[in-house]
């Protein structure tokens, strides 16, 4: 039910720039830092320990992600990881057949995974898989107009309703839903937004994501009754939501500063409590939180002092 840092780009694969790990320079009324409320664990697939991103976690503790930075000789390769205990780690390769690259971005509790695969022409194509065997491409109408195509499925709930986005010819994102059983697409719109990325959906059909409005990037939680909640971390230059659970806990990342001076921090937001910062203590660069399950376990990634990107699991 979670997702990753999937910004609307042909392939979001580059590591965030290394910066000194420090508390964000926000106002005195900034939300609390809740990092100490979690036990963090680094989880990297040994096939490429230099680049791993964990993108979603379900209520059975199954984690979706990928390794490989997407550079020459290091393509994205998707996998699932059974939540490890002790030193045990069980990785299952999951890649769209004959794809150049694959990212597994989200999963539910019923054996359905979603993501996107890249063909030899650099086109991004959304897909879903059932029990790691039946792979099907699912591209939204209109996504083929942009060259190359950018279409990604990012999250899925237990009813088989997936969410994602595609880019138009101007590079603006259009959020959508996809009913896997009925093969039906729907729109996810935010009034006044020029770009909308739907990143996660829970079993209440509440949808999380982020949008651009008058040049500002903020997050949203659109409840199934149509109520729209705007989420903007106080003092941040941008806020991007990537995951949501059935308690409407929303997770993602917020940015402080711009350009080369930008810093990125993970966050969790809950109704009635609001925002808190969540950062992996091993990260000397950026922390991004991508997914959350109903037990409040978080997955994501951070940049280490050596510039490598590591998957993280945070347990309350």
pLDDT in tens, 76-108: 999 999 866 655 678 999 999 999 999 999 999
List CB contacts of 256: < 8 A, sequence separation 6 or more: 24, 25, 26, 235, 236, 237, 262, 263, 264, 265
**pLDDT by residue (tens digit) across 19-51?**
333 444 454 478 999 999 999 999 999 999 999
Report the predicted TM-score, pTM, of the whole model to 2 decimal places: 0.90
Token pair for 84? 């490890």
Domains annotated on the chain, with CATH: 35-315 (2.120.10.30)
Q: What is the mean pLDDT of residues 261-288?
A: 91
Half-sphere exposure at residue 243, Cβ-oriented, CA atoms within 13 angstroms: 34
pLDDT at 169 over 60: yes
């Amino acid at each position: 039910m979670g997702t990753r840092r999937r910004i609307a780009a042909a392939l979001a694969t580059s590591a965030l720039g290394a910066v000194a790990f420090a508390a964000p320079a926000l106002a005195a009324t900034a939300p609390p830092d809740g990092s100490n409320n979690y036990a963090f664990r680094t989880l990297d697939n040994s096939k490429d320990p230099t680049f791993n991103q964990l993108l979603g976690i379900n209520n059975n503790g199954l984690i979706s992600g990928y390794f490989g930075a997407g550079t020459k000789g290091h393509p994205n390769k998707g996998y699932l990881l059974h939540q490890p205990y002790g030193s045990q780690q069980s990785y299952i390769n999951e890649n769209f057949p004959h794809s150049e690259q694959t990212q597994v971005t989200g999963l539910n509790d019923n054996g359905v995974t979603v993501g996107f695969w890249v063909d030899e022409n650099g086109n991004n194509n959304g897909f879903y898989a059932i029990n790691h065997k039946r792979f099907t491409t699912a591209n939204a109408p209109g996504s083929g107009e942009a060259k190359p195509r950018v279409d990604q499925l990012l999250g899925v709930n237990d009813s088989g309703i997936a969410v994602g986005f595609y880019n138009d010819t101007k590079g603006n994102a259009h959020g959508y839903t996809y009913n896997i059983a009925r093969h039906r697409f729907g729109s996810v719109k935010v009034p006044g937004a020029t770009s909308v990325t739907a990143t996660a959906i829970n079993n209440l059909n509440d949808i999380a994501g982020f949008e651009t409005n008058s040049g500002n990037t903020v997050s949203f939680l659109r409840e199934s009754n149509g109520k729209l909640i705007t989420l903007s971390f106080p003092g941040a230059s941008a806020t991007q939501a990537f995951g949501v659970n059935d308690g409407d806990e929303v997770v993602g990342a917020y940015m402080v500063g711009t350009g080369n001076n930008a810093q990125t921090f993970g966050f969790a937001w809950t109704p009635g409590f609001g925002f808190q910062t969540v950062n992996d203590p091993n990260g000397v660069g950026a922390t991004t939180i991508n997914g959350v399950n109903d037990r409040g376990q978080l997955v994501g990634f951070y940049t280490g002092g050596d510039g490598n990107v590591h998957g993280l699991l945070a347990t309350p």
